[in-house]
Amino acid sequence: MMMTAQEFAVLRERFLAHPRAASIMRRWPGGEAQAVWVAVECENIEITARGLVVGGDVVDGDWDLDGRFLLFDIDDDSAGAFYAVNGWCGSVKEIARLDPDGAGHGPTPFMRDGGMNMDSEQTRREMDALFPGLEQNEALQAAFEAHPGSVAFLELQPELGRTIPWVLVGCDVNGRQITGLVVDGIVVRHGWDLREEFVLFSVDIGPTGRFVTIPGGEATVSVIGTSPSAVGFGERPDASALLREMVEASAAWASNAELVRSWHACAVLHRLPSYPDCFAEFHRDCEVTRGLVIGGHLDRDGQWDFTQEVQVILRSGETVMLDPTQADNMEILHGHDVVMPPRRG
């Protein structure tokens, strides 16, 4: 049965509102701007469902429905669920479609400041620079989401991929070096306490992925990188431009030897990350100020206290002192949990 235009619109909007949509769309060839939105009805030995194709291989500019693809379905869960489908195991029928240029209703590309299209290759380079190992991180996210065992871990850690970032680590397991995503463990303000026992999802051991428990203190663990959480950047239509701005602010900080020395001294004392990672946006009247927080007061848990003044470095390299309590609104776009100030007025 063909899908009505209204059903298709609801399905697409539910996917875009899903907390995992941003990370999934970053893996699309050409990005969201070149997306072909296709709804299918499939029936095979694994699944009988209809939904939106949101991942898989692309052949000649279209989803390869004869291969393995990721399906987003809202029939059993109004918030949406993801299924990995093997197209060669049964029948797959297209029931709705929206091409990028279809009647002017295609997805809107992310924009640079000033209204120019953000070059996808340049955005990828900037993302890779800011988030080391991002491509591998995203590939593991896709494998994790398709793995039947992921459901149990998402129930244990419902904020994984949202307020808990995807952390890619490398560790030695019985003399073998493997990499994977941390999917369970002790949650701390920067992600996970890797000194304690945690669970790693890796495809180094099995092609579809396996969950490995890493005992606390018994393995050499190194953090390769993280990917942006679904809150903050992921919920903003100007995500690419914001990431570019954060890259520029990070580069400005790294080029200032005095600021770097000051940060490292503070990081050792208060167990902060080795580089500033809290990117914040402040609104006051008609002005918007965004930058990396590089100084201010910390509470007893070592978190930024936004009820007091903070020092922020802007993309230009200028540093400013801001009083968050005087802002109409503020938002943490990337970084750890904070003590938020009351809204002005």
Q: What is the pLDDT of residues 87-124, one digit of tens each?
A: 776 788 888 887 654 432 333 222 223 323 334 455 55
Give a yes or no: residue 28 inside a domain.
yes
**Tens-place pLDDT, residues 142-196:** 899 899 999 999 999 888 877 678 888 888 888 888 999 999 998 875 568 888 8
Q: Which residues, 6+ apart, have CB-to-CB distance to 121 below 8 Å?
A: none
Give a yes or no: residue 259 inside a domain.
yes
Give a yes or no: residue 117 inside a domain.
no
Range of the domain at 34: 5-109
Here the tokens at position 220 are 């050499």
Instruction: For residues 213 and 248, state if they share a domain.
Output: no
**DSSP-derived 3-state class of residue 300:** coil
Instruction: For residues 103 and 142, state if they share a domain.
Output: no
**DSSP-derived 3-state class of residue 116:** coil
Q: Is pTM, for the whole model, over 0.75?
A: no
Instruction: For residues 96 and 151, state if they share a domain.
Output: no
The H or E element containing residue 155 is helix 150-156
When divided into structural domains, the chain yields a total of 3
Give a yes or no: residue 126 inside a domain.
no
> Residue 331 class from Cβ within 10 Å (0-12 exposed, 13-18 middle, 19+ buried)?
middle
Q: Judge whether 45 and 102 are in contact, CB under 8 Å.
A: no
Instruction: For residues 9 and 94, state if they share a domain.
Output: yes
Domain end among 202, 227, 252: 227
Integer Cα distance of 256 and 236 in angstroms: 30
Cα separations in angstroms, 200 against 13, 80, 172, 221, 329: 32, 25, 12, 11, 38
Q: What is the mean pLDDT of the chain?
A: 77
Instruction: For residues 255 and 319, state if they share a domain.
Output: yes
